[in-house]
Structure 1
Amino acid sequence: MTELAGYLRSDGRKGIRNTVAVAYLVECAHHVAREIALPWRENDVHVIGFPGCYPNAYAEKMMERLCTHPNVGAVLMVSLGCESFNKYALERVVAASGRPVKTIIIQGTGGTRASIKEGRAWVETQRAVLDRQETVPMAVSELIIGTVCGGSDGTSGITGNPAAGRAFDQLITEGAACIFEETGELIGCEHIMAARAITPELGRILEQSVAKAARYYATLGYGSFAAGNAEGGLSTIEEKSMGAYAKSGASAISGLLKPGDIPPRGGLYLLDVVPDGEVRFGFPNINDNAEIAELIACGAHCVLFVTGRGSVVGSAISPVVKICANPETYRRMQDDMDVDAGRILEGRAGLDQIGTEIRDLVVSLGQGARTKSEELGHQEFILTYKSFEPLGPSCLPAG
């Protein structure tokens, strides 16, 4: 049995990182938060936050889930003081999770310099405590893994995406929970996806989630298809969808989640990232890191990121594994890539071989290894406004 080393939290979950999160609660506090974290840019102190000045239930849920993520060991909240974000409610949630938490209110502390000084002193203390924390045994079955693709081209659906799907199948067999998403990039695949649902009702819900995405993008007048996708050889959203669908592998689909919903058990889950109701806040996700943040809010310990064109992003809180689908892109950008799935295209490896490499890399992250994006200091993060209805009982049928 493969054994990982995890950081035990009071709710019984375990993390593969022990990060201090510095969380700003409005864009006006972003600079101070970033300056507080700067001395530890290579020592697992990450900046996250919500830029909006107006309240939003989705953003509050996201911040609660992120600040109590198993990869997070302590939280410093940075408030300007007059924003609408309910800092006291968030502080109570974090404190109830057993994590050390402190809130700095810039207007009350005395401004930028005083807030940075106070924040750095607190982070220094917490970082020292977390560095002394011992790990406990952790099983692969305790992992949650997400997947996303970005900068896709004509190779993504042939190599990188199906290889990620093979890795998912292996991890699910070992008891892990795996999450795929991008309902706006599953258009045309909804019926074959629904056939894999563990109940007929769940199958109908999966189809409805894709139909909702199609309506949403039709209202906006622009689908989830970038100029770079066309330049890379993709011709239609349906063609792109076939590649995106391949990331899900071949396992039965156990449920549908919305951002911030945590899988109740191992298995395969679809994450619906398109807001419910009328179009209110623009595009569902304005870039790949918004999707990564939502996967992490669902508890993902790490995220598999497939790219053909060559994305370089990482993320705060959870490591991002970069799977390069295009062999030419890999040779050009290998400092940013963790897996060369393009070998499949050149006949130098098979799908199962690359899938196993990805699975083994995920396990190694729980044994102390770090991804290329972590080594390079990538900690991208973005959170915007959205609106969701709660999950219905048919979304998570009993396994």
Structure 2
Amino acid sequence: MDLNNKTWKAYLRKNGTKGIRNKLLVIYTVECASFVAKEIASKIGNNDTEVIGFSGCTDNAYAIRLLIALIRHPNVGGVLAVGLGCEYVQPEWLAEIAEKEGKASAWFFIQEAGGTRKGIEKGLALAADIIKELQKVPLAPMDYSELVIGAECGGSDYTSGLAGNVVVGHFYDWLTDTGGTAVFEEIVEAVGLKEFLCGRAAHAKARKELSYTYDKALAYCKSVNQYSVSPGNFAGGLSTIEEKSMGALIKSGTKPIQGVLKVGEVPVKPGLWLLDSTPDPYWMSFGITNPNDNEGLMDLISCGCHITFLVTGRGNVVGSAVAPVLKITGNSETYRHLVEDMDFDAGRVLEGECTQQELTYELAELTALIAGGQLTKGESLGHKEYFIPYKYQEKKVSYAEPVWSCCK
């Protein structure tokens, strides 16, 4: 099957990037502005208008970097920033960043607009102007070499490491061979596999980054006295974090790892990349990061992923703002039971219905359809979840600094 010449239409941004969606992103800059922002998005009432925001009133560099990365995301065509009027994150800053990226933008304070009802009316008027500009965005051909795909797993069972994550790994190998870009995360699910992970480094710099990131993740798990394994994983047939880790890392495939990305960093060249989303030393506290699947998805999307894969053996129904979530399960029973939510049944390979190569090509074809505008099941159902917590992570770190000395 020849997929190398397959193309689809994408939205060409003024900065030269291409998006597979043309979103109006309504951003609230503090929890006090969330109701008005959500009402604006709800009253606009189309699938390409989404709302995200940061609830905190005080400064958090991680959250601000993530918001900026989402503004710059190629799937976003316009931004409306909604603030209350006394928070740290200023909506005007965000609108100016969007404008510098060549995207239609506007902003306002609810306090200055006159309250809830007048704020909603003002927001709707500003949004209408942005939507008119979105309709003018030109289309351009796009192919696999221009795609950035992210992957994580949630609700894993024994089939995740046998089929669900496996097909993603095979697809990642194929995508990077085609010139595309793949990002995987969940370094806390690589426990016991440091030698294997570092052995795939593309060069010495990448090896140093991988080694540091692994040690930091292990230190984080020890500092919060919790590893990334749950009762649901045990009920699904997994026995230890090491067993879960072997299945989780398979989704990265077999190709060399080009390096480690921090949240909000975009890959500088095609290939396979690891996303580090764990807090940095001195800030390793479970309550600080409060991880969940949607936090992981937003972290991946902040790195420019056009589409994210969510591999789930036991089942998950979430979607995401900004980028479509394609849900894959290695458990055919889960697929049949949750057929309205699951996009891809990788469990067929375990039942002998297809080969691994056939399954990989099917996933590649479905990815192209989604990139070309077909809605995922989550999108069709209206799932637009997001989660942006307080977290402390430096944009750049010295990978020569021992992690353990920082965590005492």
Report the TM-score when normalising by structure 1.
0.95
Within 2, Cα distance between the matches of 1:281 and 1:47?
28
Where 1:257 maps in the other structure, the secondary structure is strand
Contact 1:166/1:356 (8 A) holds in 2: no
State the match for 2:367 in structure 1.
Answer: 362
**1:202 aligned onto 2:206:** yes
TM-fit CA distance, 1:280: 5.0
Across the aligned residues of Structure 1 and Structure 2, the Cα RMSD in angstroms comes to: 1.6
Kindly tell me: are residues 72 and 281 of structure 1, through their superposed partners in 2, closer, same or farther at Cα, counting changes over 3 Å?
farther
**Alignment partner of 2:213: what SS?**
helix
Q: Does structure 1 retain, via aligned residues, the 8 Å contact 2:294–2:320?
A: yes
The equivalent residue for 1:34 is: 38
| C-alpha distance in 2 between matches for 1:170 and 1:212 | 30
Q: Which residue of structure 2 lines up, in the alignment, with residue 287 of structure 1? A: 292
Quote the offset at 1:392 in angstroms: 5.8
- The number of residues matched between the two structures is 395
In 1, Cα distance between equivalents of 2:245 and 2:235? 16
Of the structure 1 ranges 204-213 and 319-328, higher mean CA displacement relative to structure 2 is found in 204-213
Correspondence 1:51 to 2:70? no
List aligned pairs for 1:57-206, cutoff 5 A.
57-206=61-210
Q: Say whether residues 1:21 and 2:25 are aligned partners.
A: yes
C-alpha distance in 2, partners of 1:132/1:308? 42
Unaligned runs of 5+ in 2: 401-408
Q: Deviations over 1:10-52 (max 9, x none)?
A: 2111100000000011111111111100134443100111111
Alignment correspondent of 1:388: 393
- Name the residue aligned to 2:381: 376
- Aligned equivalents of 1:186 and 1:353: distance in 2? 28
Q: How far is the alpha carbon of 1:55 from its aligned partner?
A: 0.3
1:188 Cα deviation from its structure 2 partner: 1.2
CA deviation profile, 1:145-175 (whole Å, cap 9, x unmatched): 1001001111111000010111111111111
8 A contact 1:219–1:279 mirrored in 2: no
Q: Residue 86 of structure 1 aligns to which amino acid in structure 2? A: Q
The aligned counterpart of 1:270 is 274
Whether the 8 Å contact between 2:212 and 2:399 is mirrored in structure 1 is no
Is residue 336 from structure 1 mapped to residue 341 from structure 2 by the alignment?
yes
Query: Do 2:59 and 2:88's aligned partners in 1 also have CA atoms closer than 8 Å?
Result: yes
Which residue type is aligned with residue 146 of structure 1?
A: G
Letter in 2 for 1:360: E
**Counterpart Cα distance in 2 of 1:165 and 1:40:** 39
Q: CA deviation at 1:393?
A: 9.1
- Relative distance call for 1:391 and 1:362 in structure 2 (3 A) is farther
The Cα shift of 1:390 comes to 3.0
Equivalent residue runs for 1:313-328 within 5 Å: 313-328=318-333
Distance 2:315 2:43 in 1: 29
- Work out whether residues 258 and 273 of structure 1, in 8 Å CA contact, stay in contact via their aligned partners in 2: yes
Partner-residue secondary structure (3-state), 2:41: helix
1:92 shift after superposition: 2.0
For residues 41 and 342 of structure 1, do their structure 2 counterparts lie closer, same or farther at Cα, with a shift above 3 Å needed? farther
Match of 2:314 in 1: 309
Instruction: Give 1:132 shift.
Output: 4.4
Higher mean displacement: 188-197 or 377-386: 188-197
Q: How far has the Cα of 1:276 moved from its partner?
A: 0.9
Which residue among 213, 218, 239 is the counterpart of 1:214? 218
**Gaps spanning 5+ residues in structure 1: where?**
none
Q: Measure, in 1, the Cα distance between the counterparts of 2:292 and 2:56.
A: 17
Distance 2:25 2:284 in 1: 30
1:68-126 deviations in Å (ceiling 9; x for gaps):
11000000001011111133332221111111111121111111111111111222332
- Residue deviations 1:321-379 (CA, integer Å, cap 9, x gap): 01011111111001101110111221112222222211211111222211111111000
Query: What is the distance in 1 between the residues matched to 2:192 and 2:46?
Result: 43
Give, in whole Å, the separation in 2 of the partners of 1:87 and 1:256.
Answer: 30
In 1, distance between residues paired with 2:116 and 2:44?
18
CA drift at 1:202: 1.7
Task: Report if the CA contact (8 A) 2:47-2:382 is conserved.
Answer: no
Structure 2: distance between partners of 1:6 and 1:394: 38
2:111 and 2:197 map into 1 onto residues whose CA distance is 51
Q: Structure 1 residues 383, 20: closer, same or farther in 2, change over 3 A? A: same
Structure 2 Cα separation of the partners of residues 353 and 42 of structure 1: 36
**Letter paired with 2:157:** D
Cα contact 2:216–2:281 (8 A) shared by 1: no
Question: 1:6 and 2:10 equivalent?
Answer: yes
Alignment CA distance shift 1:120-1:379 (3 Å): same
SS at the partner of 1:358? helix
Within 2, Cα distance between the matches of 1:329 and 1:40? 35
In the other structure, the counterpart of 2:405 is none
State how far apart, in whole Å, the 2-side matches of 1:201 and 1:264 are. 14
Matching residue of 1:350:
355
Residue identity opposite 1:121 in structure 2: A
**Aligned: 1:251 with 2:252:** no
Alignment deviations for residues 228-276 of structure 1 (CA, whole Å, 9 cap, x no partner): 1111111111111111100001111111101000001110000011111
Q: What letter corresponds to residue 376 of structure 2 in structure 1?
A: T
Does the 8 Å contact 1:145/1:302 carry over to 2? yes
| Bigger shift: residues 267-276 or 354-363 | 354-363
Conserved? CA contact 2:105–2:130, under 8 Å: no
Deviation at 1:285, TM superposition (A): 4.8
